[in-house]
A and B are shown apart, each in its own frame.
Chain A
């Protein structure tokens, strides 16, 4: 026989519901702060040289690594606005973009860990 549906919620049910709703609030704050961290990271992963601006990502670094390892010291690259930019020292470009990438993504990792490791927003935001 099917179990009868409870008409009145027990105190325990209400407690669990309250906990779930509380958790939903925490998740809302978590998601907003995570998105803001993501946008910050996107904005910081920008590198400008020789009048051009580049978005630093894994594919740019991989491509530059290929360029450097194939012995090319000078190349022309399309920047984020599709403007051709002459890079006169490819090794320096690779060094600087990869350092920037590691630094910014590492910061993102640290801040993200801090955010996810604590359920208390006061602690995360250091209020």
Chain B
């Protein structure tokens, strides 16, 4: 058997001109294979095209058209059937071997729960802390992602780690990689999952628009001590922000923004503009017989934690439940109060 490690000494630089910067240990082997096939493909395309063009020119039809029988070249034909067989067996084996490094996690890998839903990502750390749209990972620590979906199929795609796996409703899937470069790298959704009404802002600032294409998160690879501090502290108001400003941040990164406008525009859910403190008409059939409620602190708190308990008239009960802390909900309420 050929060992990749031996061959990798002969490789061109791992990041080819058309792959994104690698951020994980496993990426370099994938890049090695990518580059190898890349050069083999260029070689064959150039040779075949060059022969074709050369022969079309050299053997162009003359005045005396010699129509000759095509000779048989049995040895040549056997060679170009058998030699590629060995090559593809090598390709298959190498590809499978590297693939398994992204499939099997070590015992002590850090486990992160990832949930995809229309159209944002939520991440849960081993200590129970949950965050949307931003994921913090310690450097040089293998991470096992446990993936699922709350609605349709999504795919968790981290180009920097050359890693991708579908998030399927009703089952768990796993993905493994070991980030080894400090910094930020994007997560995309790679399985088509539709579009929201209108043109709402994405959950992650700076991300593209449009539902499926807006379903982006940011991975922050940080030193281990910073990571430990981050998950221990729990959600905290960033320094220098008021509660309302923090609420505005949470409104975006928890993807409230996808369905609830703040300017009165129609969306999948009711607009927040001028909602707080005012009476709300409910769909009594879906709200346990309650027909009216005032949008006060208690109502907002309940609607975030248990969104199906009271459903506003004219909207579908499609909001997923959130696990936000009381501090975060207070901040969101503070933000809602500013939306006169």
Asked if A and B are interacting partners, one says no
